[in-house]
Amino acid sequence: MLESYIQAHISPEHPYLHRLYRESNLYLVRAHMVSGHIQGVLLRLLMEIICPREVLEIGTYTGYSALSMASGLTGNGRILTYEINDEMEDFTRPRIEQSPWAERVDFCIGDVLTDLPDEVKQGRRRFDFVFIDGNKRQYVEYYQLALQYLTPHGLILADNTLWDGHVVDSAYDGDPQTEGIRRFNDLVASDPRVDKVILPLRDGLTLIRKL
Protein backbone atom coordinates (compact mmCIF):
# COMPACT_ATOMS: atom_id res chain seq x y z
CA MET A 1 0.00 0.00 0.00
CA LEU A 2 1.40 3.38 -1.03
CA GLU A 3 0.54 5.10 2.26
CA SER A 4 2.43 2.44 4.22
CA TYR A 5 5.43 2.92 1.94
CA ILE A 6 5.33 6.69 2.54
CA GLN A 7 5.11 6.21 6.31
CA ALA A 8 8.15 3.93 6.21
CA HIS A 9 10.19 6.59 4.40
CA ILE A 10 9.48 9.72 6.45
CA SER A 11 10.43 10.86 9.93
CA PRO A 12 9.10 8.52 12.61
CA GLU A 13 5.94 9.26 14.54
CA HIS A 14 6.49 10.64 18.04
CA PRO A 15 5.61 7.94 20.64
CA TYR A 16 3.01 10.17 22.30
CA LEU A 17 1.29 10.85 18.96
CA HIS A 18 1.44 7.16 18.10
CA ARG A 19 -0.33 6.33 21.36
CA LEU A 20 -2.93 9.05 20.72
CA TYR A 21 -3.61 7.65 17.26
CA ARG A 22 -4.06 4.14 18.66
CA GLU A 23 -6.39 5.35 21.41
CA SER A 24 -8.43 7.28 18.85
CA ASN A 25 -8.95 4.08 16.87
CA LEU A 26 -9.81 2.12 20.00
CA TYR A 27 -12.34 4.53 21.50
CA LEU A 28 -13.79 6.66 18.71
CA VAL A 29 -16.20 5.78 15.91
CA ARG A 30 -14.78 8.27 13.40
CA ALA A 31 -11.08 7.69 13.98
CA HIS A 32 -10.44 8.15 10.25
CA MET A 33 -10.85 11.88 10.89
CA VAL A 34 -7.56 11.97 12.86
CA SER A 35 -4.76 13.67 10.92
CA GLY A 36 -2.30 10.82 11.38
CA HIS A 37 1.42 10.32 10.89
CA ILE A 38 1.98 11.71 7.38
CA GLN A 39 -0.01 14.88 7.86
CA GLY A 40 1.36 15.28 11.37
CA VAL A 41 4.93 15.31 10.08
CA LEU A 42 4.00 17.90 7.46
CA LEU A 43 2.38 20.12 10.10
CA ARG A 44 5.41 19.85 12.37
CA LEU A 45 7.80 20.68 9.54
CA LEU A 46 5.73 23.71 8.53
CA MET A 47 5.95 25.02 12.09
CA GLU A 48 9.72 24.52 12.13
CA ILE A 49 10.09 26.26 8.76
CA ILE A 50 7.89 29.33 9.29
CA CYS A 51 8.36 29.67 13.09
CA PRO A 52 4.90 31.16 13.80
CA ARG A 53 4.23 32.95 17.06
CA GLU A 54 0.45 32.53 16.89
CA VAL A 55 -1.43 29.60 15.33
CA LEU A 56 -5.19 29.13 15.02
CA GLU A 57 -6.67 25.69 14.45
CA ILE A 58 -10.31 25.25 13.48
CA GLY A 59 -11.36 21.71 14.40
CA THR A 60 -9.34 20.02 17.17
CA TYR A 61 -11.01 16.61 17.23
CA THR A 62 -8.57 14.39 19.20
CA GLY A 63 -5.78 16.96 19.34
CA TYR A 64 -3.44 15.02 17.04
CA SER A 65 -2.93 17.88 14.58
CA ALA A 66 -2.65 20.51 17.33
CA LEU A 67 0.00 18.48 19.13
CA SER A 68 1.84 17.77 15.88
CA MET A 69 2.08 21.51 15.29
CA ALA A 70 2.96 22.21 18.91
CA SER A 71 5.87 19.77 18.67
CA GLY A 72 7.40 21.97 15.96
CA LEU A 73 6.90 25.36 17.60
CA THR A 74 9.87 27.33 18.82
CA GLY A 75 10.28 30.16 21.32
CA ASN A 76 6.98 31.51 22.59
CA GLY A 77 4.87 30.00 19.82
CA ARG A 78 1.32 29.08 20.84
CA ILE A 79 -1.72 27.36 19.35
CA LEU A 80 -5.33 28.39 19.90
CA THR A 81 -7.52 25.47 18.85
CA TYR A 82 -11.32 25.26 18.67
CA GLU A 83 -13.55 22.19 18.72
CA ILE A 84 -17.27 22.80 18.30
CA ASN A 85 -18.34 19.31 19.42
CA ASP A 86 -18.44 19.42 23.22
CA GLU A 87 -18.72 15.62 23.32
CA MET A 88 -15.02 15.48 22.38
CA GLU A 89 -13.87 17.37 25.47
CA ASP A 90 -13.58 14.36 27.79
CA PHE A 91 -11.38 12.55 25.27
CA THR A 92 -9.31 15.43 23.97
CA ARG A 93 -8.61 17.75 26.90
CA PRO A 94 -6.72 15.28 29.10
CA ARG A 95 -4.68 14.06 26.16
CA ILE A 96 -3.60 17.61 25.36
CA GLU A 97 -2.93 18.46 29.00
CA GLN A 98 -0.86 15.31 29.54
CA SER A 99 1.20 15.79 26.40
CA PRO A 100 4.81 17.04 26.29
CA TRP A 101 3.55 20.22 24.59
CA ALA A 102 0.62 21.10 26.82
CA GLU A 103 1.91 24.58 27.66
CA ARG A 104 1.83 25.56 23.97
CA VAL A 105 -1.82 24.65 23.32
CA ASP A 106 -4.96 26.55 24.36
CA PHE A 107 -7.88 24.17 23.79
CA CYS A 108 -11.35 25.70 23.54
CA ILE A 109 -14.76 24.11 23.16
CA GLY A 110 -16.87 26.51 21.11
CA ASP A 111 -17.62 28.00 17.71
CA VAL A 112 -14.58 29.80 16.32
CA LEU A 113 -16.88 32.00 14.20
CA THR A 114 -18.35 33.61 17.32
CA ASP A 115 -16.10 32.77 20.27
CA LEU A 116 -12.68 34.19 19.45
CA PRO A 117 -11.10 36.18 22.32
CA ASP A 118 -11.69 39.93 22.39
CA GLU A 119 -7.99 40.58 21.83
CA VAL A 120 -8.32 38.86 18.45
CA LYS A 121 -11.60 40.52 17.50
CA GLN A 122 -10.13 43.94 18.40
CA GLY A 123 -7.04 43.36 16.26
CA ARG A 124 -4.54 43.13 19.12
CA ARG A 125 -3.69 39.51 18.34
CA ARG A 126 -3.18 38.05 14.88
CA PHE A 127 -2.22 34.64 13.55
CA ASP A 128 0.75 33.65 11.40
CA PHE A 129 -0.74 30.26 10.51
CA VAL A 130 -4.31 28.93 10.40
CA PHE A 131 -5.21 25.25 9.99
CA ILE A 132 -8.79 24.69 8.80
CA ASP A 133 -10.26 21.26 9.52
CA GLY A 134 -13.76 21.93 10.82
CA ASN A 135 -17.29 21.66 9.44
CA LYS A 136 -16.97 21.31 5.66
CA ARG A 137 -20.22 23.23 5.15
CA GLN A 138 -18.60 26.31 6.70
CA TYR A 139 -15.19 26.33 5.00
CA VAL A 140 -15.96 29.60 3.21
CA GLU A 141 -16.78 31.27 6.54
CA TYR A 142 -13.64 29.84 8.14
CA TYR A 143 -11.56 31.12 5.23
CA GLN A 144 -12.98 34.62 5.50
CA LEU A 145 -12.33 34.60 9.24
CA ALA A 146 -8.79 33.35 8.77
CA LEU A 147 -7.94 36.05 6.23
CA GLN A 148 -9.34 38.72 8.52
CA TYR A 149 -7.04 37.80 11.39
CA LEU A 150 -4.01 36.56 9.43
CA THR A 151 -0.73 38.48 9.44
CA PRO A 152 0.61 39.75 6.09
CA HIS A 153 2.17 36.80 4.20
CA GLY A 154 0.67 34.42 6.75
CA LEU A 155 -0.32 30.90 5.74
CA ILE A 156 -3.57 28.94 5.75
CA LEU A 157 -3.66 25.16 5.39
CA ALA A 158 -7.09 23.66 4.67
CA ASP A 159 -7.70 19.93 5.01
CA ASN A 160 -10.00 17.62 3.00
CA THR A 161 -10.16 19.89 -0.03
CA LEU A 162 -10.37 16.99 -2.51
CA TRP A 163 -12.97 15.25 -0.30
CA ASP A 164 -12.20 11.71 -1.43
CA GLY A 165 -12.64 12.81 -5.05
CA HIS A 166 -16.23 13.89 -4.48
CA VAL A 167 -15.44 17.43 -5.63
CA VAL A 168 -15.28 16.15 -9.23
CA ASP A 169 -18.00 13.51 -8.94
CA SER A 170 -21.46 14.59 -10.11
CA ALA A 171 -23.00 11.86 -7.94
CA TYR A 172 -22.33 14.16 -4.97
CA ASP A 173 -24.04 17.22 -6.43
CA GLY A 174 -26.29 18.56 -3.73
CA ASP A 175 -24.38 16.91 -0.87
CA PRO A 176 -23.93 19.73 1.69
CA GLN A 177 -20.38 18.83 2.69
CA THR A 178 -19.19 18.35 -0.88
CA GLU A 179 -20.84 21.61 -1.92
CA GLY A 180 -19.16 23.38 1.00
CA ILE A 181 -15.73 22.20 -0.13
CA ARG A 182 -16.47 23.10 -3.75
CA ARG A 183 -17.52 26.63 -2.78
CA PHE A 184 -14.34 27.00 -0.77
CA ASN A 185 -12.12 25.72 -3.57
CA ASP A 186 -13.78 28.01 -6.12
CA LEU A 187 -13.47 31.02 -3.84
CA VAL A 188 -9.80 30.43 -3.11
CA ALA A 189 -9.01 29.78 -6.77
CA SER A 190 -10.52 33.14 -7.78
CA ASP A 191 -9.17 35.19 -4.84
CA PRO A 192 -6.42 37.62 -5.99
CA ARG A 193 -5.41 38.28 -2.38
CA VAL A 194 -3.71 34.91 -2.02
CA ASP A 195 -1.28 32.49 -3.63
CA LYS A 196 -2.45 28.87 -3.43
CA VAL A 197 -1.81 25.25 -4.34
CA ILE A 198 -3.73 22.01 -3.73
CA LEU A 199 -1.55 19.15 -2.50
CA PRO A 200 -2.93 15.67 -3.31
CA LEU A 201 -1.90 14.36 0.12
CA ARG A 202 -4.38 12.11 1.93
CA ASP A 203 -7.77 13.78 1.31
CA GLY A 204 -6.34 16.94 -0.23
CA LEU A 205 -4.58 19.85 1.47
CA THR A 206 -4.72 23.42 0.17
CA LEU A 207 -1.81 25.67 1.11
CA ILE A 208 -2.66 29.37 0.90
CA ARG A 209 -0.39 32.37 1.39
CA LYS A 210 -1.81 35.82 2.02
CA LEU A 211 -0.18 38.39 -0.27
Task: Give the model's confidence band at 129: pLDDT under 50 very low, under 70 low, under 90 confident, else very high.
Answer: very high
Question: pTM of the predicted model, to two decimals?
Answer: 0.97
Return the H-helix or E-strand segment holding 183.
Answer: helix 176-190
Task: Report the chain's C-alpha Rg in angstroms.
Answer: 16
Please name each of the domains of the chain with its CATH number. 2-210 (3.40.50.150)
What pLDDT, on the 0 to 100 scale, is given for residue 121?
94
CA angle 132, 195, 107 (to 5 degrees): 20
Whether 138 shows a pLDDT value over 90: the answer reads yes
Question: What confidence tens digit (pLDDT) does each residue in 44-100 have?
Answer: 999 999 999 999 999 999 999 999 999 999 999 999 999 999 999 999 999 999 999
DSSP category for residue 53: S
Nearest CA to 115 out of 81, 147, 158 is that of 81
